[in-house]
């Protein structure tokens, strides 16, 4: 994420540059923000839509979240980040239905 003073000015994906959904980069940023500030995660989506003129594809949230899941047999301890991620997952699935 590129910042000028306290303002988000851009999102760049140099590490995993590829062809795919334009929504995946803000989805990865959103996933990284969930543990710290779920509201800011939604702000990233909203600002990205405003600046890009595109509509965020909820499938990108699903792909981002699914890409981080490890062995389903391992029980994770509940925490605030997991709650935020579950909420985002619920909204993404609902938007796709």
Give the separation between CA 9 and CA 51, rounded to whole angstroms: 9
Q: How far is CA 44 from CA 8, 71, 73, in A?
A: 8, 29, 32
pLDDT digits (tens, 9 = 90+) for 29-86: 888 888 888 888 999 999 999 989 999 998 888 888 877 766 555 555 666 677 777 8
| 19 has a pLDDT exceeding 70 | no
- Domain spans in the chain, listed from the N-terminal domain onward: 20-96
**Global pTM value:** 0.61
pLDDT at res. 76: 59
């Amino acid at each position: 994420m590129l910042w000028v003073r306290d303002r988000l000015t851009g999102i760049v994906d140099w590490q995993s540059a590829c062809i795919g959904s334009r929504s995946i980069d803000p989805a990865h940023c959103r996933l990284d923000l969930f543990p710290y500030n779920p509201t800011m995660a939604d702000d990233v989506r909203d600002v990205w839509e405003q600046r890009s003129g595109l509509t965020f594809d909820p499938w990108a949230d699903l792909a981002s979240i699914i890409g981080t899941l490890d062995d389903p047999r391992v029980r994770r301890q509940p925490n605030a980040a997991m709650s935020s991620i579950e909420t985002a997952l619920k909204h993404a699935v609902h938007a796709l239905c």
